[in-house]
A and B are shown apart, each in its own frame.
Chain A
Amino acid sequence: MTVGFATGTDTREEVGTAEKTDLDQPWVVVVWNDPVNLMSYVSFVFQSYFGYSEAKARTLMLEVHEQGRSAVVSGSREKVEQDTVALHSYGLWATFEKVGSE
């Protein structure tokens, strides 16, 4: 991901560990890092599409940025398919997979 240069007020908050995805749910959506999507935009998508708090969206965004990937939501196969397509509509690089298949 990249940082837009219109910003100057970006502060890193102290946040606890991101809520872990519920492992009872068999499928997850994985978001992959890429050099184009803006960090602010990815946070915005996580907040507005999933309804995550600012802190949770930021933690997941940083996980994508620093670790190259992050499982951002879990659920039934139907749900993760739908979420993956929605993230593609935002231009995020997302895939779905079975928990533990990485």
Chain B
Amino acid sequence: MAKPFKSTRRGITGALEPGEARLLGALLDDVVSMLEPETAPSEDPLAAMVGMSDADADATVPDDSAVRRLLPDAVRGDDDEALAFRRLTERSLREQKIGALRSSALLIESSPMTLSGEQARLLAQALNDVRLVLADRIGIETEEDAERLHDIADSKDVDDVDSYLALVYNFVTWLQESLVQAMLKAVKLER
């Protein structure tokens, strides 16, 4: 079982078992492939530099509900306004998230990990995105849904795909909570 993250003088430390690291690496890759834009960035170097592309002009609300949760509308109750904003910002948000997911996939390859504040932040963001996708696949829509899954904590509780995903979700939740607690401790020490 992974060790909880700890805030130390050298940074935030943690360690995953090899099997856990492989599983998490696969999940991080899955989320990257969900977020990769379908079209290449604009060939206009200036437009590419500022993250704009022809494809942005055609950006639409994602069909996949999990991707929609990762890239939500920034305006409520005005679809035109939300879409216009999406066309300006969605590509760079995708790229930011992909960057955090890829960095995290590299970070978890070392065991034990010693993370800088910035690396810890990227890992926390990536773990959050993994949890958002898993929650969508399991169908967690309310806090009661989430609570029902808390008891699935061991492989003996697993009897189908959904309970397996719930077990994975609970593991990633535990890992993120432990990382965030260590980060909060580090923030407190800095102040």
Contacts and interface: CB of A to CB of B under 8 A. Distances in A.
Main secondary structure of the interface of A (DSSP, over half): mixed
Contact of A88 (B71, B100, B146, B187): B71
Contacts of A62: none
Interface residues of chain B: helix, strand, loop or mixed (majority): helix
Interface in B63-113: 69-76, 85, 89, 92-93, 96-97, 100
Interface string A22-65: 00000000100001111011011001100000100000000000
Contact of A91 (B129, B173, B177): B129
A37 B128 contact: yes
B30 interface: no
Interface residues on A, range: 20 to 34
A96 B75 contact: yes
Nearest to A69: B76
Contact of B132 (A36, A54, A95): A36
Given A35-B142, A96-B74, A6 B174 contact: yes
Interface of B: 4, 69-76, 85, 89, 92-93, 96-97, 100, 121, 124-125, 128-129, 131-132, 135, 140-143, 145-147, 150, 173-174, 176-178, 180-181, 183-184, 187-188
Interface of A: 1-2, 4-7, 30, 35-38, 40-41, 43-44, 47-48, 54, 81, 84-85, 88-91, 93-97
7 contacts: A5-B150, A35-B135, A40-B184, A48-B121, A88-B71, A88-B74, A97-B75
